[in-house]
Structure 1
Amino acid sequence: MIPPRRPARHSLAPRSLTWAASGLLVAAALVWAFWPEPVTVDLARVTRAPMEVTVSAEGVTRVRDRYEVTAPLAGTVLRAPVAVGDAVRAGETVVAQIQPLEPAFLDARARAGAEAAVAEAQAALALARARLAQARADLEQAESDYARNEALAALGRVSQHLLEEATTTRAVARSALEAAQSSVDLQQATLARSQAALLGPGEDGAGSACCIEIRAPASGAVLELANESARPVQAGDVLMTLGDLGDLEIEVDLLSSDAVRVPPGASAHVERWGGTETLAARVRQIEPAAFTKVSALGIEEQRVHLKLDLLTPPEARPGLGDQYRVYVRVVTWQAPAVLQVPIGALFRDGGAWAVFVAEDGRARRQVVSVGHQTDLAAEITAGLAEGAQVIAFPGARIAEGSRITAAPGG
């Protein structure tokens, strides 16, 4: 009798190894599938470079010295011989012409009084002329008496006393003639004044005086004209404004908290004025008193006027004129070589500032001390060395020890 065969035990081993290998492969695939990939980041290098801190505000250009031309007397200013923008030269260019006002109309009472004054002046003049004729006759008689007495005195026929009396009489007659002539001149002037009071608008002699010409008090250009056409003016009325467009200043209103950080003589950059180049300016004056201004949001702010000298020559800023809007950045602090990082690399870590430093493909948190800051960079006073690489804009996926890879070009 043949005994039954037993199954071979070694046939299970290859099957177990196969299952084990398959399990390892599946586990490896799962680990590989769920293993976090390195985060692509932009890296920035810690460098030393110039830095300046600025405060920004809108400003307005102004001609430094403005000259207002006013009417020296009441009258009618004729149509302006110059236009806005015309160049003028001091003491040469006629900028305005004023014609004296014509006399007003007379009512019946005023005319009657003026006519009576003319009649009175005519009578006084006639009386003065009669007295002048009498004075001439008296002088002729005195001259004749003196000549006769002088001839007789030479012959010894009259006394010396009579000759002296004749001399005195002649002198008195001469003085009386001069007084009579002066009286005639006075009465003639009185008559002319009385007749002038009768003149009305449009009559001969009314408004016929030559125009008064006003010349430019300074060289420059016409900035404003009160009126181009002829019109009546009173003494002191402003006719036009003149100024030199080559001599501009800038007026800026800063918050008082920003103004206290601006040192005297601080440099400034003028932008958005219409040209492609940035203009140079310098702070000339910081007013000591602030004023209240309501912002666009309805908030009351304390602001301070700053006046800046525009340093860029006129030929480098063509077209820039009076009362043009500009954008000004005033430098409050600057240094030639400052250790700095991009402002976007900083984040708050508790109560301190920190950055992520790239080391061996991983992000390492590093606490730093920050000094001055601008819109683009921050000064590092401690915590980083020059040449280190930091993550420029760390996001929520970046943490201590995160695997990172630099973005192309980063």
Structure 2
Amino acid sequence: MALKSRTVLMGSFGLLVAGALAFVAFRTDPVPVDLHRVERGALQVTVNADGKTRIREVFEVAAPISGTVLRSPVRVGDPVVAGETIVAVVEPASSNLLDARTRIQAEAAVREAEAALHQARSLMREAGEDLTLAEKEYERAKLLVERGVSSVTRLENAEQQLGIKRAAEAASISGLEMAKGALDRARAALIEPVNFPDGPGNTCCKQLFAPVTGQVLEIDMISERPVTAGTRLLSVGQPDDLEIVADLLSVDAVRLETGDMAIVERWGGDTPLEARISKIEPSAYTKVSALGIEEQRVDVVFDLVTPSERRRELGDGFSVFLRIIEWENDDVLLVPVSAIFRKGKDWAVFVSENGVAQTRVIRIGQRNASFAQVLEGLVEGDQVLTHPSDEIDDGVAISERP
């Protein structure tokens, strides 16, 4: 009897050992994961873009006449006062006197223009006579139709001819004015040029004054050289009156509107600046990206809201980085974007419940690169798995990484 009891005990102990070994052999270790606690906070959705500063109003000074621009009296960065500071001096070009051949050609052009004017006057008189005759024919045809002697067709023909003659007279008047202009132009070629005095102290030179109070931004002509009328000499502006322009993808620009705020970063200062959209250009243009892809871009202009005293180092043509605020809310339920994934047509997350991963379908609203707004499916305090691996599924044991 004692032997039988011992046998039973030994058998039971063997079964326990075998069970323990089987449990150790086949048990699954918890998968280490990263957990994030769902909390409420601020969410900001932005459109990011590179931009460049530019002076809002740039005034260009150009040569009003052809001639020689003298060496520039100012340098880039010099302060100027509107109407007082001389920024450029232009000496008129000295024209040569008419030589014999040029004079003969000019005189022949005058005679030709006079003949054309005489012809234009004759054509105008002829058109006037034709118009008078057409008016009489029209009145006669109208009277005959009223008496029933003539057909309506004759009246219509007379009316048509009257319109043609009126148009011909108008054309002849225009031709006469053109002939007068041609004659004036031909006579002007015979006018002798005026010789300006040479030497210091002469008053022949044209002095150009600063159009606005500010600084010299750029000088195109520093040394003396010949120029033609309309050639740009320099530009003047107020360096603290800056705006920012950025080219955005058209699909991003349609989500923005005038008045939206932007955060200006990477401009070189310690603190970000604030800007506001002042204008979204109505037309887009094609731009080839660094990857060789054609993109439709839209220029968006921003006014700097930050006072100029806090951005004195910022100048014209400086590069900046913009985060344009498309949407923001200071109190939303947030879930990391790294935690959400697609499950069919829905969004879902893995939630930690008593050390086990469970799938939960959620509905999200706005999102940015880091967080998404939770509308349904989660509550504050839930623990969600971020960057879940392929090992994670419903019912899998998990443990938080230290």
Q: Same fold (TM over 0.5)?
A: yes
Q: Which residue does 2:397 correspond to in 1?
A: 403
What is the CA deviation profile of residues 248-290 of structure 1, one whole-angstrom value per residue up to 9, with x for unaligned ones? 1111222222111112211111222233322211111112222
Is 1:269 the counterpart of 2:263? The answer is yes
What is the CA deviation profile of residues 318-349 of structure 1, one whole-angstrom value per residue up to 9, with x for unaligned ones? 43222222222222212221111111110111
Q: Which residue does 1:154 correspond to in 2?
A: none
Q: Which residue does 2:32 correspond to in 1?
A: 40
After TM superposition, list the pairs within 5 Å mapping 1:52-91 onto structure 2: 52-91=44-83
Contact 2:240 2:312 survives alignment (8 Å): no
Contact 2:35 2:384 survives alignment (8 Å): yes
Q: Which residue does 1:389 correspond to in 2?
A: 383
Amino acid across the alignment from 2:353? E
Give the Cα–Cα distance (whole angstroms) in 1 for the partners of residues 90 and 243 of structure 2. Answer: 33
After TM superposition, list the pairs within 5 Å mapping 1:186-197 onto structure 2: none
Give the Cα–Cα distance (whole angstroms) in 1 for the partners of residues 353 and 386 of structure 2. Answer: 14
Q: Which residue does 2:23 correspond to in 1?
A: 31
What is the CA deviation profile of residues 134-187 of structure 1, one whole-angstrom value per residue up to 9, with x for unaligned ones? xxxxxxxxxxxxxxxxxxxxxxxxxxxxxxxxxxxxxxxxxxxxxxxxxxxxxx
> RMSD of the TM alignment (CA)?
2.9
Is 1:358 the counterpart of 2:352? The answer is yes
Q: Which residue does 2:235 correspond to in 1?
A: 241
Q: 1:328 aligns with which of 311, 322, 328?
A: 322
After TM superposition, list the pairs within 5 Å mapping 1:149-228 onto structure 2: 205-206=197-198, 208=200, 209-210=202-203, 211-228=205-222
Q: Which residue does 1:93 correspond to in 2?
A: 85
| Per-residue deviation, 1:33 | 4.4
Decide whether aligned partners of structure 1 residues 11 and 303 sit closer, same or farther in structure 2, where only a CA change above 3 A counts: same
Q: Which residue does 1:341 correspond to in 2?
A: 335
Contact 2:95 2:193 survives alignment (8 Å): no
Q: Which residue does 1:253 correspond to in 2?
A: 247
| Per-residue deviation, 1:19 | 5.8
Q: 1:370 aligns with which of 361, 364, 371?
A: 364
Decide whether aligned partners of structure 1 residues 101 and 194 sit closer, same or farther in structure 2, where only a CA change above 3 A counts: closer
Amino acid across the alignment from 2:300? L
Give the Cα–Cα distance (whole angstroms) in 1 for the partners of residues 214 and 193 of structure 2. Answer: 46
What is the CA deviation profile of residues 294-329 of structure 1, one whole-angstrom value per residue up to 9, with x for unaligned ones? 333333322222111111222322432222222222
| Per-residue deviation, 1:21 | 2.4
| Per-residue deviation, 1:401 | 2.1
* Residue identity (%): 46
Contact 1:347 1:354 survives alignment (8 Å): yes
Decide whether aligned partners of structure 1 residues 303 and 25 sit closer, same or farther in structure 2, where only a CA change above 3 A counts: same
Q: What runs of 5+ residues in structure 1 fail to find an aligned partner?
A: 1-8, 114-192, 200-204
Amino acid across the alignment from 1:92? E
Amino acid across the alignment from 2:71? R
Decide whether aligned partners of structure 1 residues 255 and 10 sit closer, same or farther in structure 2, where only a CA change above 3 A counts: same
Of residues 392-401 and 230-239 in structure 1, the stretch that sits farther from structure 2 once superposed is: 392-401
Decide whether aligned partners of structure 1 residues 43 and 216 sit closer, same or farther in structure 2, where only a CA change above 3 A counts: same
Report which of the two structures shows the higher radius of gyration computed on alpha carbons. Answer: 1
SS of corresponding position for 1:42? strand
Amino acid across the alignment from 1:63? I
Decide whether aligned partners of structure 1 residues 17 and 69 sit closer, same or farther in structure 2, where only a CA change above 3 A counts: same
| Per-residue deviation, 1:83 | 1.9
SS of corresponding position for 2:314? coil
What is the CA deviation profile of residues 108-150 of structure 1, one whole-angstrom value per residue up to 9, with x for unaligned ones? 859xx9xxxxxxxxxxxxxxxxxxxxxxxxxxxxxxxxxxxxx
Decide whether aligned partners of structure 1 residues 12 and 99 sit closer, same or farther in structure 2, where only a CA change above 3 A counts: same
Amino acid across the alignment from 1:24? L
Give the Cα–Cα distance (whole angstroms) in 2 for the partners of residues 380 and 108 of structure 1. Answer: 89
After TM superposition, which residue ranges in structure 1, 4 or more long, deviate above 4 angstroms? 9-13, 106-110, 193-197
Decide whether aligned partners of structure 1 residues 196 and 318 sit closer, same or farther in structure 2, where only a CA change above 3 A counts: closer
Amino acid across the alignment from 1:86? D
SS of corresponding position for 1:315? helix
Q: Which residue does 2:273 correspond to in 1?
A: 279
Figure out how many residues of one structure are paired with residues of the other and give that number: 313
Q: Which residue does 2:310 correspond to in 1?
A: 316
Give the Cα–Cα distance (whole angstroms) in 2 for the partners of residues 26 and 274 of structure 1. Answer: 70
Contact 2:98 2:192 survives alignment (8 Å): no
TM-score (norm 1): 0.69
Give the Cα–Cα distance (whole angstroms) in 1 for the partners of residues 274 and 290 of structure 2. Answer: 29
Decide whether aligned partners of structure 1 residues 30 and 317 sit closer, same or farther in structure 2, where only a CA change above 3 A counts: farther
Contact 2:257 2:280 survives alignment (8 Å): no
| Per-residue deviation, 1:214 | 1.9
Give the Cα–Cα distance (whole angstroms) in 2 for the partners of residues 196 and 93 of structure 1. Answer: 29
